[in-house]
Amino acid sequence: MPKKSLSPTGLALLAAASVLAGCASGGGPAAPSPSAPRSSASVPSSPAGAGTPDSSAGDAARTPEDALLVADFGADTVTFVDPSQRGEDARPGSVKVGTAPYGIALGEDGTAWVATAEGVAAVDTATRKRTALIPYRTDSGPVTTGEYRGGGMGIALSPDGRHVYVGVNVPGGNGVLEVVDTGRRQVVATVPVGRRPFDVDVSRDGRQVYATNHDSFDVTVVDTGDRSTRRVEVAPYGTEGGLGSWLKPHYTAVRPSDGALLLPFEGERLAVVDPDTGRVRVERMTAGTHQHGAAVADDGTLYVVGTGPIDPSEDNGPSLTVRTPGGKERVIPLDGPHEDVAVSADGRTAYVSGGFTRDGYWNGLSIVDTATGHVTRLPVGVRPLGIVVL
């Protein structure tokens, strides 16, 4: 489906549209928006150390099993959600974490690590308290809100739980991967990466970290031993249009079977990247819509969020793609803009956040029964982006 090969005139129009609409450009105005990732790794209990301890908390009630935690990008909080509750029975509790929270990484000890514009917040999900706010080393400008704000974006945990890796956006320049020691609660290293690191992921053996850089059309592969880096260009439509292009990488999922990186584009192409060789192979996708959030289950099933059309005259609307390891896809329509996705342990339910990096968004989640395709909308949060299952 080659419709994304644009003429010079089309590219010029697209670049102009991106300044108004959001997602494409990395240097545009701070439109009210952005995007985010997840991580599930074993994290040992960590004593309070450096950083700013804090007891700011919402409801101290016990968090139910299979609850969710979402980042309220339109506020300064994360919100606990029990998806089984509706109406007056739904009493989500929120915890102040820092301005414009983006991605969330969850450890097995119940600590949630949240990338905000101010620093990395540590939240005890059992007591619902922020226990630290760890400032970045990188100067990313004034603390602001909006899609192009500086500060943390993608975030992930090492498999042993000793380090948090956060991609820091530096408006107008290349980003930085900051390495946080979870025991000491402080940044211990910084590594240069590409522009606007939407997503951060870690290999299953912990030897590599992957920063997916939206505005430089690439993934930075970081060796966690010597912190050396390699750039892998991931641009199945090419890089024509530069910052004005919509056809950039957003989120990455690491395939469990072989460690390949899976990056969806436009509901048309799936870039499959070998992080060791840098080779990129492209497979066909079927949703025909602009795509952002991606998650992969242990069995290799891939879940991809379709955010909506770039060109309504020829693109499809928002959706959730469920793709088997063999490449067979089911496309489940969604109502309105969406951003990121998390999946229950049994794979039967997908939770898709409603905060979006362009003009449209809504304050809620879509709860998708992956077997039947039934979708339930649940109002929650303030422009929810990052999401994890507790």
Domain boundaries, the chain: 28-389
Alpha-carbon 256 to chain mean position: 18
Is the pLDDT at 33 greater than 90, yes or no?
Answer: no
d(CA 239, CA 76): 35
Given this model, what pLDDT does residue 360 score? 84
Given this model, what pLDDT does residue 356 score? 87
- Residue 193, amino acid: V
d(CA 221, CA 212): 9
Given this model, what pLDDT does residue 309 score? 92
What are the helix and strand counts (H, E) for the chain?
1, 29
- The tens digit of pLDDT for each residue in 76-134 reads 999 999 988 765 555 669 999 999 999 999 999 999 999 999 999 999 999 999 999 99
d(CA 355, CA 361): 5
- The tens digit of pLDDT for each residue in 316-365 reads 999 999 999 999 999 999 999 999 999 999 999 999 999 987 768 999 99
Count of beta carbons in the 10 Å neighbourhood of residue 374: 10
Given this model, what pLDDT does residue 18 score? 33
Given this model, what pLDDT does residue 7 score? 39
CA of 154: how far to CAs of 21, 84, 168, 240, 367, in Å? 22, 28, 8, 25, 23
- The tens digit of pLDDT for each residue in 279-302 reads 999 999 999 999 999 999 999 999
Q: How far apart are the first and last CA of the chain?
A: 39
| Right CATH for 28-389 from 2.60.40.420, 2.130.10.10, 3.90.1150.10, 1.10.10.10 | 2.130.10.10
Q: Would you put residue 2 in left (φ > 0), alpha (ψ -120 to 50) or beta?
A: alpha
> CB within 8 A of 163, min separation 6: which ones?
157, 179, 180, 181, 182, 188, 224
Global pTM reads: 0.87
Largest CA distance in the chain: 57
Residue 3 phi, psi dihedral angles, 5° rounding: -65, -15
Average pLDDT over every residue of 168-187: 98
